[in-house]
Amino acid sequence: MSDEPRPEVKIFNRADLVPHLWNRNAVGATDRFYWFYNVKDVSQWFTAGCVGVLEPGGSEAFHSHMEETEGPYECWYIVMQGEAELRSEYGDQRISQFGAAFMPTGSSHQIRNVGTERLWFFTLSSRGGTPLKVDTYNISCSEERPGYAEEYERILAERAARGLATP
Position 52 in a domain: yes
- pTM of the complete model beyond 0.75: yes
Q: Is residue 73 part of a domain?
A: yes
- 18 inside domain: no
The answer to whether residue 136 is domain-embedded is: no
The verdict on residue 63 lying in a domain is yes
Q: How many domains does the chain have?
A: 1
Residue 6 is assigned to a structural domain of this protein: no
Instruction: Give the tens place of pLDDT for each residue, 27-54.
Output: 778 888 888 887 877 777 888 888 999 9
pLDDT digits 0-9 by tens, 78-130: 999 999 999 998 999 999 999 999 988 888 899 999 999 999 999 998 876 66
Residue 167 lies in a domain: no
Per residue, the 3-state secondary structure of the chain, as one string, reads CCCCCCCCCCCCCHHHCCCEEECCCCCCCCCEEEEEEECCCCCCCCCEEEEEEECCCCECCCECCCHHHHCCCEEEEEEEECCEEEECCCCEEEECCCCEEEECCCCCEEEEECCCCCEEEEEEEECCCCCCCCCHHHCCCHHHCCCHHHHHHHHHHHHHHCCCCCC
- What CATH number should be reported for the domain holding residue 37? 2.60.120.10
Range of the domain at 79: 29-131+150-161
The answer to whether position 23 is within a domain reads no
What pLDDT is stored for residue 19 in this prediction?
79
